[in-house]
Structure formats: C-alpha cells, structure tokens
Amino acid sequence: MTPARGRGPLRFGVSLVPDASVPLLRTAQESDRFGLDLLGVRDQPYRRDTADALTLVAAALAATSRIRVLPAVACLPLRPPAVLAKAVATMDRLSGGRVELGLGAGTSWDGVEAYGGARPGGASAGSAAAARRALEEAVQIIRLHWSDQSGLRFQGEHYGFTALQAGPAPVHQIGIWLGVTGPRGLDLAGRVADGWIAPSSLVPPKRLADGQRRLDDAAAGAGRDPDEIRRVYVLEGSLDAKDARGFLHGPPRQWINELTELAIGHRVDSFLFGGHPAQMAEFALEVVPAVREEIARERGVPLRA
C-alpha cells in the first residue's frame, strides 16, 4: 500500500446517538477511560426521545477529563450560527480546549420544519443549493464570532449578524468539520472547512476515493493545503465474533484490516465508531491499538506511547 500523507495523529472515537433512555454520560466516561480521542454526538432535535445534543456535549465535557467532544453534526437549520458559535466557544473555554464543531446543512426537512426551522429555498428544486449557501454563510459567521475583530457585520442571503465585539473566543483553534456527501458539498468543504465528516453508509469505500479527490481539488483551487483538512469517517457497522458479513460487519480482525486500509489507502485520519454501544469496549481496547500498530508498521514509524 502507498503511504498516506499525514494530517497529524490518527484519532479514534465514538459516534453517540443521544437516546435519552440510555446512560449517555456513562458512555462518555467509558470512552474517556478507554483512551478514545473523540466523542461525536449526533444532532437530530426533531427525533422523539433524544436528548439535546449541545446540552449533552456540555455535560459530557464536564464528566470527562481528556476526550474531545463535538456535535457530529450540528443541525444548522435549528442552530442559528451566531448562537451556536457562542455556545461552542463557551464550552471550549470551560473544558480547557476540548471542543470541535461538526456542522451540517440539514437533511430531514420535514423534521426541521416540524420543529420550527425553515427549509432554505423553500420547497423549490434549488433548496439543496440554498442549503449549501446557508452552510457557507454559517461558517463565515462562526469564524467571525470567534475572531478578535470589533464592529462585526455580516449580511448574507440566509443569515445576518451584527455585534459591537466578537467573542467569547475559544481557547484553541476549533476545527469546523462539515458533514457533507454530495459533490457540491465536498467542493464547499474543500474551500472553507477544517475537516470532512463522512458516514460509511452514504460514502462507502468505492465512493470515498472520489470524494477525497474532489475535496483535494477544491482545497487546492482555493489555495489551501489539502493535507490540512481532517478526514473523519463514521463507522456504521457491527463488531462481533461471527463470520464476515460485508464491510464493517464482522469480527475484530476484519475491522482491523478494513480500518488500516481506510487509513493507508483512503487517507482517513479519524474514525468514529457508530455501532452498538455494547461493542465500544471491544473497539477501543482491541481494534484501535491493533490498527495503530498496523499503520505504524506500514508507515515505518515508531508507535507513540
């Protein structure tokens, strides 16, 4: 396999469904105790019996000591960007710099509208393009809010923002990782984002390579270094001891091989386990260390302690 270009250390974590009926904070604490790097909280406010994602992110940060936590991804149509920027920056300050931001344009428009949100572009055929424009404006507003500028003013097609002063500023440079899957969304991520979040169900390996190329081309076209964009892959599968039943459905050895190939062959640098919470310990304690070892061996570098 050809060695991948690096974007910093590999990161492994969990993609958490905020089901209010399960012990969510225990899962966050176990993720931290098992040495995982990231805890992504899915944000679908319109789904019945789910906890609020941002409240859960804040609670998880308070209940842990080292893991980074992020909405993955925040539902922009129900999270006004200036308010979201203030909330995320506040959590970053209170946690000592352990927050990242996953951001999405929105998908379930019926659910968004049922919860009082608006569909960008209305019901027209151009609503997908309008949602992307709204997402780009949101990135601009959030970064403006986190800046050290004063006399802030932004007026776009979808969002407006005015403030005498920015802030509060986060204590570290928060990454804005876009959850997008289509070609135009990847173009946007390549131009403006710090990372790309892709679910395996929508972006299987056969689509991943094309997506990576599109992301790289858009970044290069905008004068950016593609290697500075983090590539986050949500692993929607089942980890068990039975025979292989397809991609990300099988025993630990299969997962180790597939994740190693994703990192080396497809340049993924961050993985979020989206399987059943009961399988998280096996992922963290068996799969993750083995993948780190395999990748270090492939790249010919010593494994960090």
Structure tokens at 200: 């395996």
- Give Cα separations from 202 to 125, 154, 180, 206, 269 (angstroms): 22, 34, 10, 11, 18
pLDDT digit string, tens, across residues 158-180: 998 888 777 789 999 999 999 99
Residue 8, pLDDT score: 67
| More confidently predicted of 161 and 69 | 69
**Residue 301 confidence class, pLDDT cut points 50, 70, 90:** confident
Question: What's the predicted TM-score (pTM) here?
Answer: 0.93
- pLDDT category, 194, cuts 50, 70, 90? very high
pLDDT of the residue at 303: 59
- pLDDT tens digits for range 20-31: 999 999 999 999
The pLDDT of residue 122 is 62
**DSSP labels for 197-266?**
EEETTTS-HHHHHHHHHHHHHHHHHTT--GGGSEEEEEE-SEE-SS---STTEE-HHHHHHHHHHHHHHH
The token pair at 75 is 């539902």
Higher pLDDT pick, 96 / 244? 96
pLDDT at 4: 38
In this structure, whether the domain defined by 11-299 belongs to CATH 3.40.50.300 is answered with: no
- Give the length of the chain: 305
144, 166 in Cβ contact below 8 A?
yes
pLDDT at residue number 244: 86
Domain ranges of the chain: 11-299
**Tokens encoding 263:** 């990192």
Average pLDDT over residues 101-129: 81
- In a 3-state reduction of DSSP, which class is residue 93? helix
| Res 50: pLDDT | 95
